[in-house]
Amino acid sequence: MSKLTFLIIFFISSFSLYAEQTKNLEFADMLNKEIPLILENSKARGIAISIVHGKDVIGSYYYGYADIDKSTPITRETVFNVGSVSKVITAWGVMKLVEQGKINLDKPVNDYLKRWKIPNSQFDSSKVTLRNILSHTSGLSLSGYNGLSAEDPLPTLVESLEGNNSGDGPVKIIHEPNTKWSYSGGGYTVVQLLIEDVSNQSFSDFMANNVLIPLGMTESSFDITNIPQAKLARPYDENGNQTPMVYFTETAAAGFLTTADDLVKFNQAVLKNDKGNYIGSNILSNKIIADMIQVQPHTGGRWSMSYVVDTENSSLGFAGFNRGWTSLTRAVIDKNIGYVILNNSSVGGVNNEIDQLLLSFISGN
């Protein structure tokens, strides 16, 4: 390489790095100006945001309080419940069993369940498959769970499926499978049982070993007893008042706990590295990931196997809500950028406002 060629390459690289750093500073300035105003004009108490570009972390940003009474600020170590975002992570775990040949996406899930089975009714339970459960086209009941208080005894997984839960009764087929989209948190409780019955491990252990640890998500868990209480944010209601923590047996559907810095590592899994491979290909093959994020039938073009598909913004994502917690995750595929927004309050409109702010900035750069 000639000296002139080297100098040209060095100049171009230096200029590109300078431009990238300038853009990141503009982004940080925008957030630091806008987010405090959003918090001030709402009853939300704290926000954590993390954003990545491919394999690189652009930045993490923390605002407000994890605990108002103790003046404890939100930090990189603050843990949040992410509600239904739990489902997307669960999907990656069960797809590991698919990749290993232990589950067929299109065979009846009852073929694999041992401790409980989807009951027959006027609808044929053999039509309920992992594919249609993940895409919410299985016809299964129970849209969501409210969660239990610390004083309430937690039911077993089977007891929950049979109707002892904080939702609307037992998990059963309520409409013909493979005919329409109908959101079912109960379906993901079936997936939780499926993972345990097939792997012969607890759900939380299986997910830790096969998804969380490989992604470096060391501050996260599906088991609340694994989270130091000092790191867990306090939840606040829509009026800004502290509200009791909620607990779940049905953690696959609603019980994942994580930090913004950890969750964005999961967000990266559907982005690409410098070689054009999915960053999550250390967990699942490129083919499995590509199949998993494809739009599924009977979903109105809006759902893959777990992800919400936003064609307008070329993105995959999900949002979560539990009492005192809201969350949002989005991967903008054509920009290879991902971000997460975690909020320790029931004021979900704040997340949507920040989401639009981020999308606007990303689309303009």
Q: What is the pLDDT of residue 140?
A: 98
Q: What is the pLDDT of residue 285?
A: 98
The answer to whether 271 and 52 have CB atoms below 8 angstroms apart is: yes
Is residue 177 in a domain? yes
Mean pLDDT of 236-257: 98
Q: What is the pLDDT of residue 17?
A: 42
| Residue in 151, 149, 153 with CA at minimum distance from that of residue 164 | 153
Q: What is the pLDDT of residue 11?
A: 47
Asked if the model's pLDDT at residue 9 lies above 70, the reply is no
Asked if the model's pLDDT at residue 14 lies above 80, the reply is no
Report how far residue 216's alpha carbon sits from residue 272's, in angstroms, rounded to the nearest whole number: 17
Mean pLDDT of 296-321: 96
Domain that holds residue 184: 43-363
- Tokens 């409980």 belong to which residue? 116
Considering its fold, how many domains does the chain have in total?
1
Report how far residue 236's alpha carbon sits from residue 96's, in angstroms, rounded to the nearest whole number: 36
CA angle 32, 48, 249 (to 5 degrees): 165
Asked if the model's pLDDT at residue 18 lies above 50, the reply is no
The answer to whether 83 and 325 have CB atoms below 8 angstroms apart is: yes
Report how far residue 297's alpha carbon sits from residue 357's, in angstroms, rounded to the nearest whole number: 32
Question: Which tokens go with 162?
Answer: 């049979």
For residue 7, what pLDDT band results from cuts at 50, 70 and 90? very low
Asked if the model's pLDDT at residue 188 lies above 60, the reply is yes
Report how far residue 187's alpha carbon sits from residue 334's, in angstroms, rounded to the nearest whole number: 31
Q: What is the pLDDT of residue 363?
A: 83
For residue 52, what pLDDT band results from cuts at 50, 70 and 90? very high
- 227: domain CATH number is 3.40.710.10
Digit-coded pLDDT (tens) for 194-242: 999 999 999 999 999 999 999 999 999 999 999 999 999 999 999 999 9
Question: Which tokens go with 253?
Answer: 């559907």
| Residue in 355, 318, 315, 354 with CA at minimum distance from that of residue 335 | 315
Q: What is the pLDDT of residue 23?
A: 63
Is residue 74 in a domain? yes
| Residue in 261, 254, 218, 209 with CA at minimum distance from that of residue 93 | 209
Q: What is the pLDDT of residue 16?
A: 43
Q: What is the pLDDT of residue 27?
A: 81
Question: Which tokens go with 127?
Answer: 């039509």
Q: What is the pLDDT of residue 2?
A: 56
Report how far residue 90's alpha carbon sits from residue 94's, in angstroms, rounded to the nearest whole number: 6
Instruction: State the CB neighbour count (10 A cutoff) for residue 210.
Output: 22
Asked if the model's pLDDT at residue 8 lies above 80, the reply is no
Is residue 7 in a domain? no
Mean pLDDT of 117-125: 95
Mean pLDDT (the chain, rounded): 94
Is residue 71 in a domain? yes
Asked if the model's pLDDT at residue 98 lies above 60, the reply is yes
Instruction: State the CB neighbour count (10 A cutoff) for residue 96.
Output: 21
For residue 26, what pLDDT band results from cuts at 50, 70 and 90? confident
Is residue 61 in a domain? yes
Evaluate the CA torsion angle 104, 110, 111, 115 in order and state its sign. positive
For residues 104 and 364, the model is more confident at: 104
Is residue 72 in a domain? yes
Report how far residue 93's alpha carbon sits from residue 17's, in angstroms, rounded to the nearest whole number: 37
Asked if the model's pLDDT at residue 21 lies above 50, the reply is yes
Is residue 13 in a domain? no
Evaluate the CA torsion angle 101, 88, 270, 233 in order and state its sign. negative
Digit-coded pLDDT (tens) for 282-305: 999 999 999 999 999 999 999 999
Report how far residue 357's alpha carbon sits from residue 33's, in angstroms, rounded to the nearest whole number: 12
The answer to whether 317 and 269 have CB atoms below 8 angstroms apart is: no
Mean pLDDT of 92-102: 99
Question: Which tokens go with 324?
Answer: 């005192």
Is residue 31 in a domain? no
Asked if the model's pLDDT at residue 25 lies above 90, the reply is no
Instruction: State the CB neighbour count (10 A cutoff) for residue 143.
Output: 15
Q: What is the pLDDT of residue 19?
A: 46
